[in-house]
Amino acid sequence: MHIPLFTNLATSLLPLLSPSQQPSSSSSTITIRPIHAHTHKYNDTTSTLYFHNTSSEASFYAHDYPLSTFGADADIPSLSADDLTIRTVKTIIRRPRVRPPSMLSWSLSHKATTRRGGIIPFGTYNISEDVGMWVAPDMNSQGGEWDDVEVIAPDIKDRQTLITLAKITSNAYVLPDSGEWWPVGKWNNHTVPFGWEDNADGLRGHIFADPKNETVIISIKGTSAGVLGSGGPTAKNDKFNDNLLFSCCCARVDFSWTPVCDCYAGGWRCEQTCLEDSLVNESVYATVGTNLYNNVTYMYPNATIWLVGHSLGGSLSAMVGLSFGAPAVTFEAPGDKLASKRLHLPLPPGMPADKTGITHVYHTADPIPIGACNGAYSGCYAAGFALESKCHTGQTILYDTVTVKGWSVDIRTHRITDIIEKVLADPWPETDKPKKPSTQPFHISNLGLGQWWGWGRKGPQPGKGGDQDDGDEDTDDGGWEKHGGVPVAEAEEDCVDCYKWEFGDGWNQDPKKSEAQDGLSIAEARRKGLKRS
């Protein structure tokens, strides 16, 4: 897929952007300010990226908010001028010497080299423009196909940095006037407003840049899953991509489910090549995420690009970062290793976990990142989500809230604001000593019909420090109490996904497959919203 008229868009934007500078070798902290960016599909086959500013009514036209929500320009709120400070460190990331054109390039290259002469249904994706230009380097090669590059990355050992990145991640869900926006500084006005279509249903987020354009952070929104259909226009595509990326076999949980692809081979068997082709053909967000990253790098050619995200947005951030060798920090993300393997992204042993630049942050009471949100009595099952993967790429910072805080495993602890206010707010003890939390992570009485189930989030509240970011001023160090107390990042080396399943090719399909799957195409499944029968 390609972004139409992007040349015109870039031509309009580039003269207004201040020149990117080479990263300073002495940089230890950065301050950031946001650039509002959205992506959406304006037809069935093409993905589009738009940038805009706060001076136009149209610039606030977003996925979950109709244009009528906003009146004249005077009604558009102003943002806090407070900047956020992030500590940075130099780190080594292993990248292919020749940069891949897209996230899907790894899979397409694998197919081209292993199935030459075969017919591969790549849908609308133009393989001639991809594999014809790029071939994935051998992961076991000791030659010159890989470079270990020193880059400026967020200091994941610093708690205030994680809090800042979590706030940036949280803001991907909301508009600045919603009362749920964490103050992050002045808008960068060097942008161009573009119109928005009603009920746009694609990937959404914000882009933040430091004043010198040395560091740019892409924040990607996670799943909008609402009760009684209140998740907004992105909810259907969010659910489809969740089930495609993070289920063992096409979200084929039992006979009552509508699968998202046709790879089930009966029993606990699933066609591996079919699964890989389905991700290439159907994962709209993988393509849009690639376009987003490519266009940001085009506009900031000398900047260091970071990615952050929560839940689905976190996993997508990690996969984009893994594809291009960019630092990524995720919060409460489902296991991304399963989808990364199916897309043939660079993984251990050829790609050491500590050289991926990927860091996952989550806690043990959230069933989604630990792969426990499944089974007939789980909240995910009831809502039609098959989030079965649990293994993560890169390194993981794991907060054992079950042991240390005494929390129960509960999907309501998945909210990004719970991470900010109840997990990252205080330094984690160096020695795990179980203690009972003073308050429950989240009370069901706070769940209104308009509250997003599971993936809902609440921003800063009056009197709770929402308008003041005490941890963002770095005038004094503050010591361990302020910056320390972060668990050590470690690779998930012994993790196994989908242990009950057998994956392979050539199994005879059972003509009497489940009634839920019988006769339903992928397009029909998407139109039905992937709801169980």
CA 208/CA 216 separation, integer angstroms: 6
Q: Are strands 269-271 and 502-504 parallel, antiparallel or unpaired?
A: parallel
Reading phi first (left if > 0) and then psi (alpha if -120 to 50, else beta), residue 530 is in left
Q: Which residues contact 456 (CB under 8 A, 6 or more apart)?
A: 415
Looking at the DSSP assignment, which residues form a beta bridge with residue 81?
A: none
Strand residues in 155-263 grouped as ranges (E): 204-209, 215-220
Helix (H, G, I), strand (E, B) or coil at 99: coil
Element (H, E) at 337: helix 337-342
CA 36/CA 227 separation, integer angstroms: 27
CA 222/CA 315 separation, integer angstroms: 9
CA 72/CA 447 separation, integer angstroms: 32
Helix (H, G, I), strand (E, B) or coil at 472: helix
Torsion of CA 352, 354, 358, 364, to 10 degrees: 110
CA 263/CA 282 separation, integer angstroms: 13
CA 276/CA 106 separation, integer angstroms: 11
Quote the Cα angle for 500-504-505, to 5°: 145
Q: Which residue out of 224, 247, 278, 311 is catalytically annotated?
A: 311
Distances (CA, A) of 202 to 60, 135, 136, 235, 365: 16, 29, 28, 9, 29
CA 332/CA 390 separation, integer angstroms: 11
Number of neighbours of residue 262 by Cβ within 10 angstroms: 18
CA 257/CA 384 separation, integer angstroms: 8
Q: Are 235 and 226 in contact (CB under 8 A)?
A: yes
CA 279/CA 247 separation, integer angstroms: 12
The question of whether 24 is a catalytic residue gets the answer no
Read off φ and ψ for residue 214, nearest 5 degrees. Answer: -85, -30
Q: Are 160 and 471 in contact (CB under 8 A)?
A: yes
Kindly list the catalytic residues.
311
